[in-house]
Amino acid sequence: MSKIEIKIIETVGGLVGVVLYIIYVFLGFVFGSDLLNMGFISEWLIIGPLPFFIIGSHYIVAGSSIDEKKRKDDEISIKSIMIGFLMWLAVAIGLFIVKSTMSVTIFSAAGLIFMVLVYIYLKSKLPESEKFKGFPIMYSIIIALIVFYVF
């Protein structure tokens, strides 16, 4: 398979994730209207899963086409997103209970940054020979989300 075909498959994987995320948010608004009044929790349930949808669908759609190091990087990204999401959800619940007045935008951006920190930690545990040397899709997505969301 040529590099162009692989890039097309990877892009389609990311776009499938965006479409799935839009469906997730729509279903959340339709069926989860009670959750929309929970401040940090509802905000994190909306913004937090976006990287998972994009990278998860990238992994599913393009997993058989990409090289082993990139596949391993996707696996680490998925793990770090799930760990970061669940840990930051616990923080959101705690802040909701204590009725914090922190900015929801700063809270969500901090949660996304926390996901990147978990990713960096998990990636540091890999032997050098297994690390993907390119700019990981995880960084690209999180940086774009923070810039788009905060500004």
pLDDT tens readout for residues 93-119: 998 889 888 888 888 888 988 998 998
For the chain, what is the radius of gyration of the CA atoms? 16
Q: How confident is the model at residue 138 (pLDDT cuts 50, 70, 90)?
A: low
Q: Are 62 and 9 in contact (CB under 8 A)?
A: yes
Tokens at 150, concatenated: 């905060």
Given a cut of 80, is residue 148 above it in pLDDT?
no
| Better-predicted residue by pLDDT, 35 or 124 | 124
Q: How far apart are CA 52 and CA 138, in angstroms?
A: 9
Q: What is the pLDDT of residue 35?
A: 65
Query: Residue 135 is encoded by which pair of tokens?
Result: 């700019």
Q: What is the pTM of this model?
A: 0.82
Percent residues over pLDDT 90 in the chain: 23
Task: Check residue 32 and report its DSSP letter.
Answer: -
Given a contact cutoff of 8 angstroms between Cβ atoms, the answer to whether 57 and 13 are in contact is yes
Per residue in 93-102, is it b (16+ CB within 10 Å) or e — as a string?
eebeeeeeee
DSSP result, 39-82: THHHHHHHHTTHHHHHHHHHHHHHTTTS-HHHHHHHHHHHHHHH
* Cα–Cα distance measured from residue 116 to residue 107, given in angstroms and rounded to the nearest whole number: 15
* 116: helix, strand or coil: helix
What 3-state DSSP class applies to 110? helix
Using 50, 70 and 90 to split pLDDT, how confident is the model at 37? confident
Residue listed under structure tokens 């997730």: 24
